[in-house]
Chains A and B, each alone.
Chain A
Amino acid sequence: MLSIRNIGKTYPNGTAALREITLDVGAGEIVAVVGGSGSGKSTLLRLISGLDHPTSGTIDVDGTRIVAPHPAVGIVFQEPRLLPWLTVEGNVGFGLAHLSRPERRHRVHQALKRVGLADYALRWPRELSGGQSQRVAIARALVARPSVILLDEPFSALDAFTRVELQDHLLEIWADTRPTLVLVTHDIEEAVALASRVVVLRPFPGRVAQVSDVKLARPRDRLSHSFDDEKRAILSALDTTLARRAPPAA
């Protein structure tokens, strides 16, 4: 259970990125955070991960206050960020240095199998495609068995086919152990396909504009009318936030 209370973030240069964000995410929930640029959606994710610190408010995961990166929270960045000097196996096991070698190998292979890359353990990151690299990054986050996994526009750099494939794949993985997922995305379809709840942020500074449940049964049919309706609802909410406080023209 992830509990965000009155989070604010103002950068030293005076820019207010987030103001008064409060959000509870239940265990096993998938929450998508959408918003225009400048709505602070990536900042919010960095605060939850403990990589950055809020200037006000608190974040708790399963009752533990987050003040620094925490093992209960895993993160998948926009880019795979694999370490080029480690094999796929080494990258996935990077955070498991405290485990014995056989235990680590076992966990790494399980995670690789889960993302469909069991045969790629000994490859170098350079030899992988974009989609494969991002799968390895997901495996690296999974392998530590965190209760919350944060995903920062994880599929935005991939082509449309690979993106849908990885979205479905992420759902399969989620169905196994039901970790809490917080997904930042600018892709409305992705939000509707994956999330049980969609948080729409309003920019300058980032605030919660709307939180809506996606009431579609899983598996979701991207071509159905109800899917379109959900998409349209979120799009209109986004439009409202953007029209109300449009960023100054650059």
Chain B
Amino acid sequence: MPADGSLAIEARSEISALRRTSRFAGAYPFVAGLLLPVALGAVWEALVYFGLANGRLVPPPSAIFRTLAELSSTGELYVHIRATLLRVLAGFAAGAVAGTLVGALIGYFRRFRQLLDPSLQGLRAVPSIAWVPLFILWFGIFELSKITLIAVGVFFPVYLGVLGAIEAVDRKTVEVGRAFRLSPLGLVRRILLPSILPAYVVALRQGLGLGWMFVVAAEFMGASEGLGYLLVDGQQLGKPQQIVAAILVFAVLGQITDWILSLLTAPFLRWQDSFARAR
């Protein structure tokens, strides 16, 4: 079928052309989004440079980058990044595992829901920073109390995400599994898990985001290293450039970890992805 074949090729090249334009269209807003901060930075830099503003409380970009370079050349920056990153990862792992297990249990067995969900919802209503004094009493001021606080922050979005996703699984899809005589375990593995995966990934990403929020609170509790320590230290010693530098590092690390998480989960969501691409 030469006619069909050439048609298909034509269609394919048209689609790839569309993709190319959409990729360009995707890059353009990114550049546009940079314009404002870069322009503001440049203006502020110039004002400080020409002595029209002193820049002591609001450091110009050059001062921030100088601070970053100094911290980085002494290796100090990496010590702090490493400490914070390890806390986030440990807290995220603990919170995500607990949230997944409890969410799955409550979602799968209705009885557990009546028993546990009201208490969990009550705990969720507690502003998590309110736990800090208690956690310090219970777990001391070192790593355990910090990681616990982060885990609490990660737990709730993951728990709610898993629970909601399980409840949203279509009865008709489950019936397909039953029609093919899947065992309860097979039903979980071949129907439930793939059904909830997209919502689960979203929940994990939300959990990770909260993990990054809570690590700051945890490190305010008293830490001798970590990016949160840099913030506190910058405040106490009056070094705003160090504070802004730490904030920048937080932003970059948060983005990178989120990106890694979506990259790791992308292969499992290919079927969805292809839908997004087809649109």
- Interface, chain A (partner B; CB < 8 A): 49, 51, 68-71, 75, 77, 79, 81, 83-87, 94-95, 97, 124-127
Question: In the assembly, what is the distance between CA of A81 and CA of B174, in Å?
Answer: 10
Q: Are B181 and A81 in contact (CB under 8 A)?
A: no
CB distance from B275 to the nearest CB of A (A): 5
| Chain A hits for B271, CB < 8 A | 84-87, 124-126
Question: In the assembly, what is the distance between CA of A75 and CA of B181, in Å?
Answer: 12
Question: In the assembly, what is the distance between CA of A126 and CA of B195, in Å?
Answer: 15
Q: Are A124 and B275 in contact (CB under 8 A)?
A: yes
Q: A81-B173, A126-B275 are in contact. List 13 more A-B contacts (CB 8 A).
A: A68-B181, A70-B181, A77-B175, A79-B172, A83-B173, A85-B194, A85-B197, A86-B194, A87-B271, A95-B181, A124-B271, A125-B271, A126-B271
| Chain A hits for B6, CB < 8 A | none
**CB-CB nearest 9 A-B residue pairs:** A95-B180, A85-B194, A126-B275, A85-B271, A69-B181, A81-B176, A124-B271, A69-B179, A124-B274
Q: Are A83 and B278 in contact (CB under 8 A)?
A: no
| Chain A hits for B190, CB < 8 A | 94, 97
| Chain A hits for B180, CB < 8 A | 69, 94-95
CB distance from A237 to the nearest CB of B (A): 31
Q: Which chain A residue shows the least CB distance to B273?
A: A124
- Interface, chain B (partner A; CB < 8 A): 172-173, 175-176, 178-181, 190-191, 194-195, 197, 271-272, 274-275, 278
Would A77 and B172 be within 8 Å (CB), given that A68-B181, A69-B181 are in contact? yes
Q: Which chain B residue shows the least CB distance to A77?
A: B172
Count contacts between A and B, CB distance < 8 Å.
Answer: 50
Question: In the assembly, what is the distance between CA of A69 and CA of B195, in Å?
Answer: 22
CB distance from A49 to the nearest CB of B (A): 7
Q: Which chain B residue shows the least CB distance to A150?
A: B179
Question: In the assembly, what is the distance between CA of A186 and CA of B163, in Å?
Answer: 39
| Chain B hits for A126, CB < 8 A | 271, 274-275, 278
Q: Which chain A residue shows the least CB distance to B181?
A: A69
Q: Are B178 and A51 in contact (CB under 8 A)?
A: yes
Question: In the assembly, what is the distance between CA of A127 and CA of B278, in Å?
Answer: 8
User: Which of B180, B190, B194: most chain A CB closer than 10 A?
Assistant: B180
Q: Are A51 and B181 in contact (CB under 8 A)?
A: no
| Chain B hits for A85, CB < 8 A | 194-195, 197, 271-272
Question: In the assembly, what is the distance between CA of A49 and CA of B274, in Å?
Answer: 34
| Chain A hits for B179, CB < 8 A | 49, 51, 69, 75
| Chain A hits for B278, CB < 8 A | 126-127
Q: Which chain B residue shows the least CB distance to A90?
A: B271
Q: Which chain A residue shows the least CB distance to B180?
A: A95
| Chain B hits for A81, CB < 8 A | 172-173, 175-176
| Chain A hits for B172, CB < 8 A | 77, 79, 81
| Chain B hits for A95, CB < 8 A | 180-181
User: Which of A71, A77, A126: most chain B CB closer than 10 A?
Assistant: A126
Q: Are A83 and B176 in contact (CB under 8 A)?
A: yes
CB distance from A150 to the nearest CB of B (A): 10
Q: Are A71 and B275 in contact (CB under 8 A)?
A: no
Q: Are B181 and A71 in contact (CB under 8 A)?
A: yes
Q: Are B191 and A83 in contact (CB under 8 A)?
A: yes
Question: In the assembly, what is the distance between CA of A68 and CA of B182, in Å?
Answer: 11
CB distance from A27 to the nearest CB of B (A): 22
Could you list 20 A-B pairs, sorted by A, with CB under 8 Å? A49-B179, A51-B175, A51-B178, A69-B178, A69-B180, A75-B179, A77-B175, A77-B176, A83-B176, A84-B271, A84-B272, A85-B195, A87-B271, A94-B176, A94-B180, A94-B190, A124-B274, A125-B271, A126-B278, A127-B278
| Chain B hits for A97, CB < 8 A | 190
Question: In the assembly, what is the distance between CA of A94 and CA of B175, in Å?
Answer: 13
| Chain A hits for B275, CB < 8 A | 124, 126
Question: In the assembly, what is the distance between CA of A124 and CA of B279, in Å?
Answer: 14
Question: In the assembly, what is the distance between CA of A135 and CA of B178, in Å?
Answer: 21
Q: Which chain A residue shows the least CB distance to B279?
A: A126
